[in-house]
Structure 1
Amino acid sequence: MSRLSFTPRPYGKLIQDHILDTPRCGVWAGMGMGKTVSTLNALDILELVEPGPTLVCAPLRVAQSTWPDEARKWAHLRNVEVVPIVGDAKARTRALARAWGASASIFTINYENLPWLEETLRAQRRAWPFRRIVSDESTKLKGWRGSQQTNANGTEFVRGAGAQRSRSLARVAFTHARRFIELTGTPSPNGLQDLWGQAWFLDQGARLGRTFKAFSQRWFRTKHQGFGTEPYDHAQAEIEDRMRDLCMSLNAADWFDLREPIKNLIRVEMPTKARALYQDMERKMFMQIDGHEIEAFNAAAKTMKCLQLANGAAYVDENAEQWAEVHDVKLQALESVIEEAAGMPVLVAYHFRSDLSRLQKAFPQGRHLDKDPQTIRDWNAGRIPVLFAHPASAGHGLSLQDGGNILVFFSLNWNLEEHLQITERIGPTRQMQAGHDRPVFIHYLVARGTIDELVLARIETKREVQDLLLETMKRKGYA
C-alpha cells in the first residue's frame, strides 16, 4: 500500500503539543477527529528525546487494526512500526519479545489481555519495558476504585476495587511509566462519576480526591427519592476546572464546516476462516457453510453473497430465510462507535434481513425503523439510543434530524440513490433547518479487501458497477 502525504488538521498540532507538554494528560475529542494520528506524531517525536517503547491499551479491534493501519497510512510515519500484542498466547509472546529490541517503538494490546501481560512478565522475570502508556478509549478505566497506600515497610502498593485489567494497569501506571495519555470521545458517558477512575490514572487522585468515596462525598448527593446519587449544581464546573490543566477538550463544531458531513472510514479485518470463505466465493462463485451449498449463478448474486460475507453472515437457502453467521467484527466495530457516541443516538443503516436480526440481538436497546409513526416520534424525542433503518425505508420526506447527527453504515449496497436519501435524513441541511448547530458524522464499516471497498468507491466516484467489478477481477487475476 502506497503511503499518503499527511495534511494536518488545524487542531492537530494542539493535540500533539498537549501530549508533548503534559506527561500525564487526556485528549477528549470525538471519533474521526484525528486523535490517533496526532498521538502517533507526538510519540514519534518522544522516541527521539525519550527513547523506549510505548504500550497502547485499546479495544481489541482498535489494537489489532486501527493503530497499525494509521501508522502504515502516512508517509511521514514510515519509520514508525506498531506491533499488536494480540492473537493466541504464542503470537502475543512473540510480539512482546520485540519490546526489548530496537525494531519497534509502539505496541498495542487489548484491555482484556493486560492481566496476561502482567503474569507473563512475572513468569519471565522481566521488568516492565514500556516507558509510556496510552489508554485509547479511556472510559474502560472508569470503574477503577483503587488507591495508593503504604505498608509497614514503606512500600507503596495499589489496592481497591475494579476490573482486573484496571488493577494490572494501576500497578505500573506511576511506578514504571513516565507518561500516561488518555484518549476518548466523551470521558463521562454515564455521568460525572465516570471521571474519577480515569482521573486517578493521571494524578493518583490529587485533583478529584484520593478515593472514590472522597470524590462522591464532595460533589454528589443522594437523590430526593432516596435511591442513587446526583451531582450538586456546582459539580460539573468545579470538576472540569480542576482537570483543565491535564485534559484538553475539542468540539467538532468549532473546527469543521457544518455544511459538509464528517466522514470516517472504519476498516475491519475478517477472521481467517471467514476470509477463506469470501475468497472462495470470489474465485469459484461457490462455497459451503455449515453443510449448506450456495451457488451464485450470476455477477449480481455473487456480489450480494460477497456483501453478506463482508457483513458477517450469508443466506444458506434459496428463499433467503436461513442464514449462517461467519464473523462478528463489524458488530464489534459498531459497538465501539456506539460506546464513543457516549449516549448520543446512533442511526444504523443495514441492507440484509440477516443484518437486522444480528444487530437486534447484539444491541437489544435498539429499535427498528418500522411503519409505526410513533417510532419516528420516539427517535426525534431522543427516546431511542440506536435506530436500525434500511435505506429504502428512509427515503424522501422522512425527518430524523431531531433525533441525532450520527449515521453508521453497517452494510453497504450499490444503490447510490438510497445512500444519498438516508444520509439526508439527518444531513447538514436538515440539521441547520431544524436549528441544530452540530456537525453530521458518517461512519462506514468496511471489511478490508472485500467488495465493501468497491461499493464505497461507487458511492464516492459514481462509477459504473460493471467497470469497478471488471477492474477488480483483472487486478486479482480472476479475468
Structure 2
Amino acid sequence: MIYKPYNYQAYATNWIIEKKKSALFLEMGMGKSVATLTAIHELLYDYFDISKVLVIAPLRVASTTWEEEVKKWEHLKGLRISKVLGSEKQRVAALRKKADIYIINRENVTWLVKHYQHNWPFDMVVIDELSSFKSSKALRFRALKKVRPLIKRLVGLTGTPAPNGLIDLWPQIYLLDGGERLGRTLTSYREKYFLPDKRNQMVVYSWKLKKGASDEIYEKLSDICLSMEAKDYLELPERIENIISVELPQKAKEQYERLEKELILSMKDSDVLAGSAAVLVNKLLQIANGAVYDETGKAIEIHDEKLKALDELIEAASGKPVLVFYGYQHDKDRLLEHLKKVKPRVLQSDQDIKSWNQGEIPVLLAHPASAGHGLNLQTGGNIIIWFGLTWSLELYQQANARLHRQGQKQTVVIHHILAKDTIDERVMKALERKDTSQRALMEAVKATIDQQKEENRDDQQSLQQ
C-alpha cells in the first residue's frame, strides 16, 4: 500500500526526526506507528543518524502490530524486524539476528538491560505506550533509567499520558530528558507543583495541583511533547453511547446491600485507604455483574439480570458481530456458558483477531486489559457491549478505540449494562467525567459510607420513635 500521510502524520514524523528526545501524545487510531516507522526509516537510510532501534511495546502489540505496519506500507518494506519474544533462548537468538528494529515486550526490559549491561547496542529507543512507564518504582522504569545515558534518541508514544492526573508524568518525562524539565526526582516534582491531598498521618495517598501548576508543566513540555486529538484532524465515525439499566431482584439487592454494609462496617472507625477502597469497589462491581468470589475464591452466582439484557442486545444486533467486554474471570465463565449456542470466542490470539476482522465470530469476549493497545478490530464490527465496567479510564478509552477509530465504516454503538442503584452508576459517572484517579475511587467509597451512616441514623431514629 502506498503511504499518503495526513498533514499531522507528516508533522509528527518531522517532529521525531528533528528532536533527539520527543513524545507523541496522539489519540488512538491516528496512525502514530506508521509516522514513527517513517521517521525511523529516514533516520536509518537518509540521514544515517542511527543504526539499531529498539521498540518496547505491550506483548500483543510487540508480537503483531509493528511488523504488520512494516508489511502494510510500500515505503517500509526494506526495514528488517526481529521480535525479541518468547523464552530466553528465543530472545537471545532474536537479538543475534541482523535487523534494523528489535521489538520487545515491556515485561522483558529488565532482562534486556541485564543481558547487555554496559554494552547497550541500541542508539534509538521507541516506547510504545509510554504511560506504562508511569511508576518510578517499577523495575522496567529503573532498568531503562540505567541505560538512558547510552541512548542517542528516545521517542515516547501514547494516547493517554496522564490517565490518573499529571502526577503520572514525571517518570515518563524523566526517561526522555533525564530530569531537565520536571526535575531530577519525583519528590522535587511533587514539591514544586503539588500539594498533599488524601493522607493518613505521614503517608500521602493522593496529590492535588497547585494553582497554575498545570499551565507551567505544559509550557515546560511544549518543546518535546506533541499532543493531537483525533477529532481535530480526522473524520471519525459517529459514536452512540447507550445506558441499559437493569433492576436487581429483591434477593440480589439484599445481598448487595448486606455486603456493602459489612465491608463498610469493617472500615467504619478507620480512614478509607486505597487498598480497602479497591476491595469494596471490586466486590460491589462483581455483585452488580451477577456473581462474587467468596473467601475461598469460589464464584457464587447472585443474579442473571445482566445476562438477560445481553441476550436482548445481541438479538437486537440482528446477526451483526458484537464485542463484549467483561470484568472478572467468573464473568467470562458465565458468558461462555450462557452464550454457548452462538459459539462465542474469547480474544486470546492473533488468529482470533483475524477471524473477528473477517466476520467469522458472532460474539467476541474480551477483557479490556487484553484489548487495550494497538489492536485493529474496526473491520470486524461496530457494536460494543460493556457487560462489566472497568474503573480505569485508560483501559476504558483504549478498549472503545478498538472499534471507534480510523478505518471504521459504520456508526459505533457502545452499550453499557448497568445495575441500577449500584456502584455501576458511580463508575459510569466517573468515566464520563474522566475522573478515575485513586482520589476519585476513595471519594466514591466515602460517599457510600456517608450514605450508609445516614441510613443507619434514620433506622435508629425510627426505632426510638
TM-score band, normalised by shorter chain: 0.5 to 0.7
d(CA) in 1 for partners of 2:143, 2:125: 13
1:121/1:225 CA distance change after superposition, 3 Å: closer
* Partner in structure 2 of residue 136 of structure 1: 128
User: For 1:182, what is the secondary structure of its paired residue?
Assistant: strand
d(CA) in 2 for partners of 1:213, 1:17: 34
Contact 2:167 2:207 in 1 (8 A): no
Match of 1:383 among 426, 429, 433: 429
User: For 2:226, what is the secondary structure of its paired residue?
Assistant: strand
Question: Which deviations, in whole Å up to 9, do the C-alpha atoms of 1:103-129 show, x marking residues without a partner?
Answer: x2011101111122123335xxx8211
Question: Which deviations, in whole Å up to 9, do the C-alpha atoms of 1:8-45 show, x marking residues without a partner?
Answer: 11211110010001110111011100100000000000
d(CA) in 1 for partners of 2:63, 2:89: 16
d(CA) in 1 for partners of 2:173, 2:93: 33
* Partner in structure 1 of residue 348 of structure 2: 328
Contact 1:133 1:177 in 2 (8 A): yes
* Partner in structure 1 of residue 164 of structure 2: 190
1:336/1:200 CA distance change after superposition, 3 Å: farther
* Partner in structure 1 of residue 113 of structure 2: 118
User: For 1:335, what is the secondary structure of its paired residue?
Assistant: coil
- What's the CA shift for 1:362? 12
Match of 2:384 among 349, 359, 377: 349
Match of 2:10 among 8, 13, 16: 13
* Partner in structure 2 of residue 149 of structure 1: none
Q: TM-score, normalised by structure 2?
A: 0.56
Alignment of 1:38 with 2:35, yes or no, is yes
User: For 2:429, what is the secondary structure of its paired residue?
Assistant: coil
Match of 2:24 among 24, 27, 48: 27
Alignment of 1:254 with 2:232, yes or no, is yes
- What's the CA shift for 1:167? 1.5
User: For 1:114, what is the secondary structure of its paired residue?
Assistant: helix
Contact 1:313 1:326 in 2 (8 A): no
Amino acid at match of 1:11: Y
d(CA) in 2 for partners of 1:361, 1:33: 25
d(CA) in 1 for partners of 2:339, 2:133: 47
Higher relative contact order (CA 8 A, sep 6+): 2
- What's the CA shift for 1:256? 2.0
1:94/1:322 CA distance change after superposition, 3 Å: same
Q: Please list, as runs of the form range in 1=range in 2, the aligned pairs for 1:11-90 lying within 5 A after superposition.
A: 11-48=8-45, 49-90=48-89
Contact 2:418 2:424 in 1 (8 A): no
- What's the CA shift for 1:132? 0.3
- What's the CA shift for 1:233? 2.1
d(CA) in 2 for partners of 1:327, 1:258: 25
Q: Please list, as runs of the form range in 1=range in 2, the aligned pairs for 1:199-238 lying within 5 A after superposition.
A: 199-223=173-197, 228-238=206-216
Amino acid at match of 2:215: A
Alignment of 1:167 with 2:142, yes or no, is yes
Q: TM-score, normalised by structure 1?
A: 0.54
1:318/1:29 CA distance change after superposition, 3 Å: closer
1:224/1:65 CA distance change after superposition, 3 Å: closer
Amino acid at match of 1:109: I
Structure 2 gaps, min length 5: 241-318, 327-331, 353-364, 375-381, 397-413, 435-465
Contact 1:68 1:81 in 2 (8 A): no
* Partner in structure 2 of residue 419 of structure 1: none
* Partner in structure 2 of residue 105 of structure 1: 100
User: For 1:11, what is the secondary structure of its paired residue?
Assistant: helix
- What's the CA shift for 1:360? 8.5
Q: Please list, as runs of the form range in 1=range in 2, the aligned pairs for 1:433-452 lying within 5 A after superposition.
A: none
Kindly indicate which of the two structures has a greater share of residues assigned to helix.
2
d(CA) in 2 for partners of 1:315, 1:338: 20
Percentage identity across paired residues of the two chains: 31
Contact 1:314 1:324 in 2 (8 A): no
d(CA) in 1 for partners of 2:417, 2:127: 39
Contact 1:24 1:202 in 2 (8 A): yes
1:108/1:318 CA distance change after superposition, 3 Å: closer
d(CA) in 1 for partners of 2:62, 2:106: 9
* Partner in structure 1 of residue 262 of structure 2: none
Question: Which deviations, in whole Å up to 9, do the C-alpha atoms of 1:434-459 show, x marking residues without a partner?
Answer: xxxxxxxxxxxxxxxxxxxxxxxxxx
1:216/1:307 CA distance change after superposition, 3 Å: closer
Question: Which deviations, in whole Å up to 9, do the C-alpha atoms of 1:122-141 show, x marking residues without a partner?
Answer: 5xxx8211110001100111
Amino acid at match of 1:187: P
Amino acid at match of 1:133: V
1:361/1:323 CA distance change after superposition, 3 Å: farther
Computed over aligned residues only, the root mean square deviation of the Cα atoms, in angstroms, reads 4.3
d(CA) in 2 for partners of 1:361, 1:322: 29
Work out the number of aligned pairs and report it.
303
d(CA) in 2 for partners of 1:244, 1:368: 37
User: For 2:142, what is the secondary structure of its paired residue?
Assistant: helix
- What's the CA shift for 1:383? 2.0
Question: Which deviations, in whole Å up to 9, do the C-alpha atoms of 1:211-253 show, x marking residues without a partner?
Answer: 1111100111123887632101211100000000011111222
d(CA) in 2 for partners of 1:97, 1:41: 24
- What's the CA shift for 1:403? 8.6
